[in-house]
Amino acid sequence: MITDAQRFQPFSEEPIRLIDQSGAWLGAFPCDLDDATLHAMYRHLVLARAVDERLVLLQRLGKISFTASAAGHEAAQVGTAHALRVGRDWIFPYYRDTALAIAVGWPLVELFGQMMGTRADAARGRQMPAHPGSRDLRIFTVASPIASHLPAATGTAIAQKLAGAGDATVCTFGDGATSEGDWHAALNFAGAQGAPIVFVCENNRYAISVDLRHQTGSDGLAVKAHAYGMPGYLVDGMDLLACYYVMRSLLEAARDGLGPALVEMTVYRYGPHSSADDDSVYRDPAEVAAWRERDPIVRFRRFLTARGGWDEAAERELRAAVTRTVDEAVEAAEAAGPVPVEWLFDDVSSRPTPQLERQRERFRAARRAAGEDVAD
Amino acid sequence: MALQTYVQTIARTLMEEMRRDERVVLLGQDVGRRGGVFLATEHLFDAFGPDRVIDTPLSEAAIIGAAVGMAVHGLRPVAEIQFADYVFPGFDQLVSQAAKLRYRSGGAFTAPMVVRMPAGGGVKGGHHHSQNPEAHFVHTPGLQVVYPSTPSDARGCLQTAVRGDDPVVFLEPKRLYRASKEEVPRDVDQLLPVGVGVRRREGDDVVLVSYGASMRETLQAAEALAQQGIAADVIDLRWLMPWDQALVLERVAAVGRVVLVSEAPHSGSMLSEVAATIAEEVLDMLEAPPLRVSGFDTPYPYAQDRAYLPGPNRILYAVQQVLDY
């Protein structure tokens, strides 16, 4: 029997690809997913793009302070999400992983609550937008400092190995992260331990303005795995099924005790780095346009259409449903209302220090003296 | 003279320093083609090219560590850390290498370099884009630390820092980058000496001591006090290590009441150091205990971004306490 792990070659010259631009299946094995699964994947792509577009709009309206668009990264993230066992495997994402969070089931009300910092945010309004996290879904809450989550991801994977329950960890990051010392520390430790973890680089070729050529002298990023004793896979990150199958096979291998892997998914971010960036300074619009031509959502839709079972009517119905879902979630997240001012003092440590208690009292007294309502 | 913002002043001053001394090189993330994410290095890449304005890989350790090595070989590197919150992967290089090189080599090697970093909150950035980490650096012997509050001061302190012989941590209040505008002289030296603060206002009822972004709220509080007939003496420290002990002690001894203001967390802060020094040196001249108005011992919050900052109301409350004491 051919296992998934034997289907893909590490360190290939060309990215692993299973669907071509026209939507035709290229795999040497049959696609074993049923319609329900494929349609759920497609729904996640469309939903993630709709959420992304809404976030850009909300930022322009001043309802959120920041957004880091994931448009162009959806196939990599949704493919990865569907390869996970949600609630068992751990996910260590970075700030551009909105589609990943959506596809593993992060409730949209929580998502928009996090973005707006309202009571709908499970993290109580503590972080800037684009920082998902969920205890139930085992999403390790995002931290902004690049690659700072990688060593922790390795630690979780080592703990999973010790527990012996056959669980695994997925850790995602951008191309810039591969330059941080923490990145190398984490891969090295994972390699030495044979930890059940798959590191996923969403390589969009730009760390804000710095292109890959100035980020590293190495020929691609997958090759860096070699030095840490793990396989490195180069995958077309705009091909949902390539991302899904490679991730599925590597997670299976990790669960079977075959150790960690690195996956480089070639993607492109259509928008600027964030709402605070102007990418016209460092990117040629023709380059952006060329990548948009390879849109992962269009490509997957072509695959579904060619396969049968997906038509214009289904598409229209999906788009309408997605718009409704997003509208409702935004409304509910906003209606939850602002977080109380004094929540800022909670959750610093297992119990507040006497120093912090005193600061809180003084803060309250100063507000009272200024005639503010301290009940809030 | 046209008005110039804080961030334009940084870019302009760097331009002048690079023209003046070809040993001055810049390095950091996005400092080149992008001109810095806040545009603090705008136009410099075009003016000086990729050898002197270096877009680095995304590694603060590489940026700060490489600056040490460049400095040892005779360059005058000015490194940018994109946000002060991101300095920590480079913290080892600052603390273990830059700060201690002169000492451990018996003066044979030095690291004359500047590490610039935007700091402070009030920009809806949450705890990874709002912190004030100055206490870490003040607590590291061998580093100079400066946190100028106005465009003119930024210019004078940056000239001093670039031309000095020590590693300087140069903190810039990001919420004033565009909000603070002044007429700033160009193409003339205006060096502000290391460790010298400045009186922003004169008064005999209470001394307010602050620095960096909090100067703005401190001056607003002083203005509100003036409306009530209370004259505040306002000191801007500018330099946090070394800091202007002589100026602070002289004014506090003369007035007898002092309130210290900063948005950094309360415990173990720069303000703690100033308050302790006041207690040690001029206790018998005090009419009331020194009070600190600061950020809290919490990570910088997102939703309550503004409440965290020591605003005029909290400053006025503390002033009332020292006056009523």
Judge whether B67 and B108 are in contact, CB under 8 Å. Answer: no
Binned average pLDDT, 10 residues per bin, chain B of 325 residues: 93 98 98 97 98 98 98 98 98 98 97 98 92 98 98 98 98 96 91 98 98 97 98 98 98 98 98 98 98 97 93 96 97
Nearest CA distance, B37 vs chain A (angstrom): 7
The yes/no answer to whether this complex scores an ipTM above 0.90 is yes
The residue ranges of every structural domain in chain A are 4-338, 340-376
Confidence of residue A2 (pLDDT cuts 50, 70, 90): very low
Domains and CATH numbers, chain B: 3-183 (3.40.50.970), 198-324 (3.40.50.920)
- Residue A4: the pLDDT is 52
Query: What is the per-residue DSSP string for B34-57?
Result: T--TTSTTTTHHHHH-TTTEEE--
> Which class would CATH give A4-338?
alpha beta
Within 8 A of B57 by CB-CB distance, chain A residues are 176, 179, 207, 210, 214-216
| DSSP helix/strand/coil, B294 | coil
Give yes or no: A270 in active site.
no
Phi, psi of B34 (to 5 degrees): -75, -20
Q: In chain A, positions 211-240, which contact chain B (CB-CB < 8 Å)?
A: 214-216
pLDDT over threshold 80, residue A348:
yes
| Nearest residue in B to A62, CA atom | B124
Phi, psi of B292 (to 5 degrees): -105, 135
Mean pLDDT score of chain A = 96
- Strand pairing partners for A264? A201, A234
C-alpha B198/C-alpha B244 separation (Å) is 9
Listed in sequence order, the residues at least 6 apart from A164 whose beta carbon sits closer than 8 Å to its beta carbon are none
Nearest to A178 by CA among A221, A118, A208, A228: A221
Pairing of strands B258-261, B291-293: parallel
Helical residues (DSSP H) of A164-226, grouped into ranges: 181-193, 212-215
Nearest CA distance, B186 vs chain A (angstrom): 27
Within 8 A of A180 by CB-CB distance, chain B residues are 58-61, 89
Whether A209 and B33 lie within 8 Å, measured CB to CB: yes
Confidence of residue A375 (pLDDT cuts 50, 70, 90): low
- Structure confidence by residue, pLDDT tens digits, A258-293: 999 999 999 999 999 999 999 999 999 999 999 999
The CA–CA distances, whole Å, from B182 to A273, B40, B154 equal 31, 16, 11
| DSSP helix/strand/coil, B144 | strand
- Structure confidence by residue, pLDDT tens digits, A147-169: 999 999 999 999 999 999 999 99
Residues B128, B129, B136, B266: which is the catalytic one? B129
- Contact with chain B for residue A343, Cβ under 8 A: yes
Within 8 A of A145 by CB-CB distance, chain B residues are 85-86, 88-89, 128
- A vs B, Cβ pairs < 8 A, gives 140
- Residue A1: the pLDDT is 39
- Contact with chain A for residue B28, Cβ under 8 A: no
Q: Which of B127, B261, B304 to mutate to test the interface with A (most CBs of A within 10 A)?
A: B304
Whether A369 and B34 lie within 8 Å, measured CB to CB: no
Judge whether B28 and B79 are in contact, CB under 8 Å. Answer: yes
Whether A127 and B314 lie within 8 Å, measured CB to CB: no
- Residue B283: the pLDDT is 98
| Nearest residue in B to A145, CA atom | B86
Within 8 A of B33 by CB-CB distance, chain A residues are 209, 281-282
Residues A54, A138, A149, A273: which is the catalytic one? A273
